[in-house]
Amino acid sequence: MPPSNTLSGAVQDDDLVFVDETPAAPGSGPGGAWRVLIVDDDADVHSTTTFALGSLEMHGRPLEFLHAYSRAQAERVLERERDIAVVLLDVVMEQADAGLHLVRYIRDTLGLHDVRIILRTGQPGYAPEMDAIRGYDINDYRTKSELTRTKLYTSVAAAIRAYEQLRALDASRTGLAQVVRANAELMALHSMGEMTQGILREAALLLGQPADGLLCACAPAGRPAAWQVLASCGDCAALVADGALAPAAAPLADAIARTLERRANVYADDHLTLYFRGKSHSDFAAYLRLREPVDALRRGLVDVFASSIAVGLDNVALMTDLQRAAFYDPLTGLPNRTRLVELAEDALGSHGRPDATLCLVDIDHFAETNDALGHQFGDALLVAVAQRLRARLDARLALARIGGDIFAVLGPCAELDPLALQSMFTGPFSIEGQDVRVSATLGLVRLREHDGSAADALKDADIALKRAKTQQRGGHFYFSRGMGVEIRERVRLMHALRSGFARGELFLAYQPQIDLATRHPFGAEALLRWRTEDGRFVPPDRFIPIAEYSGLIIEIGAWVLREACAELMRVRAAGHLDFTMSVNVSQVQFRHPQFIPMLRRAIEESGAPPERIELEITESMAMEEPDLLIERLAEIKRTGVSIAIDDFGTGFSSLSYLQRLQVDRLKIDRAFVTEITGSARGSSIAEMVIELGRNLGLSIIAEGVEDERQAQILQALGCPLAQGFLFARPLAPQALIEWLGRDALTHAA
């Protein structure tokens, strides 16, 4: 069950504090106690609510609390008990919508229309369906975190007041039905304009008089000139100018100010003012002219109407703001990603194949501009780009900003020319008195060639954009099916790798490394392998790049190092003390800030001697960020671990730079070993590497040795060490120890 929001500390006048308290016994004032049913699966909420309200009286009568901890318990209580005034109802209990089901049960099955319902939820961001609020006469909706003691009392008091009035007016069912009908009809309206006009209309019907009035949104402490007139009708409409009260409306403004000050409805002989408490940024007030005074019965009807409609009015105001925030970018005012997806769905849902293109527009090097000149400057640039595109694009094209520095354009293929779109960036943008020139890279997808949802189309356009950025900044690229298959296969493999690693499908195999002179093993290289659940092997050149791209290589690499150190200790325990374990290190792993601490932990926890551990880095990796590499290698050397450069000869290393690296061994790439026996010049590169290593005082090892002829040539060239299928294939841990044992016996013999 989702946890409820709880506070702790001393009880203040405006604090609702969750503590363990025994509920207060109901009093026996005149007319009996107001009965409040608390429905919540959190016992703390029950004790807190009764503690907060138990000592209070409302309209001279105490409160009596009933308790239910589930929807089923609440249904039984409601069937058994009578005269329940208020239900404080948790939205999420045994199911996510249990509270809403209980609302339907109360209204439809039991036919209890008088009882007031206040929905509460402890989940931030969770909101009940508007259909439920609209259709079942819910009195209020609050998150538990906002219900201070005062606000809880206010909500319950308002609910009890509404309940009392409904019961008092039970004899006048026609008027009550009119209130309920008006409330339901107004709740069905989704725009602020429709709802405010409807409030004036329905209030006039309840009064039995012509509609003549206006309704304002009044910011706290705001002057009448700052009030926003949301609706007007009758003669009062002439007192409104550009959405504000005209000077001639001063008497109306005074009357509205009085009702705002009193925070209550005010009745006079020739007019009335209604107060609607707002929970967001402003309160609301209505002014209605009267032809005759309002009698007590109609006053009660109007009070009930105003009380019940206030939450709906505030919710519509909030929903209007949320609608804007949900579908439009606050910086540029353009539709956002969510709205763009809706527009693309509409295009895809049209009959036939849509003749439309979706284009993503990425501003080149925006991050550098933002960092150099500040976020305020970057925001101004984005606004300028949005204004230019909006002004120059064909009216049939939809423009959106979907995040960061990426805009989107959607519309007919004939009107969306990528070259014309890019030409809009040729002129400079004037930002804070500076002329700024930027270019844009485009990724496009033709919807008629697309199978799938709008969200999928957006992903495909993003794939095309990434391809364009890797090939040519300032260019454009159209999505093709082949690109999608490639990307989706990579994503599928990434998820499979993550799951496979968690299930233990990855393992290490160890390929012995040999002294060519004695043909005796001196160490082994730990090689990462992946065998899926169905027994299929995934090649390392497929899954290791994906592990690096996803960042999973950090976790996998740490596991590899721990396993390799543990295997080294098992080999030493078997009596092979002069044995070195070589471990490959990914570039992503090597750059990680926690790599050195991780290396030290692996050595300390395994007890492996660091001088018997060798880390292999690729030559291309060694060539990037030389200063950082030199510093990092120095840290590694201080641990006692040795360093080898793998695939040497493929990365075009600078010899002067190589002298500065604190490495111990060069590893001749298998491609050069293969060429040794292929031609007269085949051994030249291997020979140069061997000579270079000898001059720098470095050890040399060749990998990929597969036949005796290669081994003899390498030995003749001065290469002392080798590994490859000629000597042994990669071995499982136990097989390695057995192989070493057989080799030791052979050499002893």
Over range 40-48, report the average pLDDT.
91
Over range 397-406, report the average pLDDT.
91
CB 360 within 8 A of CB 461: yes
- Lowest average pLDDT, out of 1-5, 388-392, 509-513, goes to 1-5
CB 535 within 8 A of CB 541: no
Phi, psi dihedrals of residue 286, rounded to the nearest 5°: -120, 145
Three-state DSSP class for residue 643: strand
Give the CA dihedral 556, 558, 563, 567, nearest 10 degrees.
140
**Could you tell me which residue, 36 or 18, shows the higher pLDDT?**
36
pLDDT digits (tens, 9 = 90+) for 233-255: 999 999 988 888 888 888 999 99
- Lowest average pLDDT, out of 217-231, 570-584, 602-616, goes to 217-231
Instruction: Please state, in angstroms and rounded to a whole number, the distance separating the CA atoms of residues 654 and 672.
Output: 19
CB 457 within 8 A of CB 347: no
Residues 6+ apart with CB under 8 A from 21: 47, 48, 50, 51, 54
CB 36 within 8 A of CB 159: no
- Burial class (CB within 10 angstroms; exposed 0-12, middle 13-18, buried 19+) of 445: buried
Token pair listed for 9: 């500390």
Q: Mean pLDDT: which of 122-126, 192-196, 246-250, 563-567 is highest?
A: 563-567
- Burial class (CB within 10 angstroms; exposed 0-12, middle 13-18, buried 19+) of 536: exposed
E runs forming strands in 69-115 = 84-90
Q: What is the pLDDT of residue 175?
A: 54
Q: What is the pLDDT of residue 172?
A: 53
Residue 126: closest CA among 98, 160, 92, 95: 92
CB 63 within 8 A of CB 56: yes
Q: What is the pLDDT of residue 243?
A: 82
Over range 58-70, report the average pLDDT.
90
- Burial class (CB within 10 angstroms; exposed 0-12, middle 13-18, buried 19+) of 149: buried
**Could you tell me which residue, 75 or 319, shows the higher pLDDT?**
75
**Could you tell me which residue, 328 or 125, shows the higher pLDDT?**
328
Residue 698: closest CA among 659, 742, 738: 659
Residue type, 571: V
Q: Name the percent of the chain in helix, strand, coil, to the closest 5.
A: 50, 20, 30
pLDDT digits (tens, 9 = 90+) for 706-747: 999 999 999 999 999 999 999 999 999 999 999 998 887 776
Q: What is the pLDDT of residue 23?
A: 36
Instruction: Please state, in angstroms and rounded to a whole number, the distance separating the CA atoms of residues 4 and 46.
Output: 11
- Lowest average pLDDT, out of 79-83, 119-123, 179-183, 221-225, goes to 179-183
Write down the mean pLDDT value for the chain.
Answer: 83
pLDDT score of 130 more than 50: yes
Stated length of the chain: 749
Q: Which residues pair with 216 in a beta bridge?
A: 229, 285
CB 134 within 8 A of CB 188: yes
pLDDT digits (tens, 9 = 90+) for 515-536: 999 999 999 999 999 999 999 9
Q: What is the pLDDT of residue 679?
A: 63
Three-state DSSP class for residue 714: helix
Q: What is the pLDDT of residue 385?
A: 93
**Could you tell me which residue, 284 or 705, shows the higher pLDDT?**
705
pLDDT digits (tens, 9 = 90+) for 153-182: 888 888 888 888 777 656 355 555 566 565
E runs forming strands in 21-109 = 34-39, 57-58, 61-68, 84-90
Q: What is the pLDDT of residue 28?
A: 33
pLDDT score of 94 more than 90: no
Q: Mean pLDDT: which of 335-349, 355-369, 570-584 is highest?
A: 570-584
Phi/psi region, residue 122 (left: phi>0; alpha: psi -120 to 50; beta: rest), is alpha
Q: What is the pLDDT of residue 671?
A: 85
Domains of the chain: 34-168 (3.40.50.2300), 173-325 (3.30.450.40), 337-479 (3.30.70.270), 509-748 (3.20.20.450)
Over range 463-484, report the average pLDDT.
82
Instruction: Please state, in angstroms and rounded to a whole number, the distance separating the CA atoms of residues 422 and 441.
Output: 8
Pairing label, strands 271-276, 283-289 = antiparallel
Q: What is the pLDDT of residue 181?
A: 61
Token pair listed for 28: 């026996």
Q: What is the pLDDT of residue 266?
A: 92
pLDDT confidence band for 19 (50 / 70 / 90): very low
CB 530 within 8 A of CB 733: no
Residue type, 595: F
pLDDT digits (tens, 9 = 90+) for 620-655: 666 666 677 788 888 999 999 999 988 776 554 556
Distances in whole angstroms, Cα of residue 687 to Cα of each of 174, 692, 716, 721? 105, 9, 10, 14
CB 647 within 8 A of CB 669: yes
- Lowest average pLDDT, out of 200-204, 254-258, 350-354, goes to 350-354
Instruction: Please state, in angstroms and rounded to a whole number, the distance separating the CA atoms of residues 294 and 277.
Output: 22
pLDDT digits (tens, 9 = 90+) for 533-566: 999 999 998 999 889 888 899 999 999 999 999 9
Q: What is the pLDDT of residue 10?
A: 29
Instruction: Please state, in angstroms and rounded to a whole number, the distance separating the CA atoms of residues 647 and 631.
Output: 22
Residue 209 per-residue DSSP state: S
- To the nearest whole percent, how much of the chain has pLDDT over 90? 39
Three-state DSSP class for residue 77: helix
Q: Mean pLDDT: which of 307-311, 431-435, 488-492, 526-530 is highest?
A: 526-530
pLDDT confidence band for 272 (50 / 70 / 90): very high
Instruction: Please state, in angstroms and rounded to a whole number, the distance separating the CA atoms of residues 425 and 364.
Output: 11
**Could you tell me which residue, 14 or 447, shows the higher pLDDT?**
447
- Burial class (CB within 10 angstroms; exposed 0-12, middle 13-18, buried 19+) of 48: buried
- To the nearest whole percent, how much of the chain has pLDDT over 70? 83
pLDDT score of 129 more than 90: no
Report the 10 Å Cβ neighbour count for 3.
Answer: 10
- Lowest average pLDDT, out of 464-468, 495-499, 507-511, goes to 464-468
Residue 669: closest CA among 616, 718, 627: 616
Predicted TM-score (pTM) of the model is 0.47
**Could you tell me which residue, 276 or 401, shows the higher pLDDT?**
401
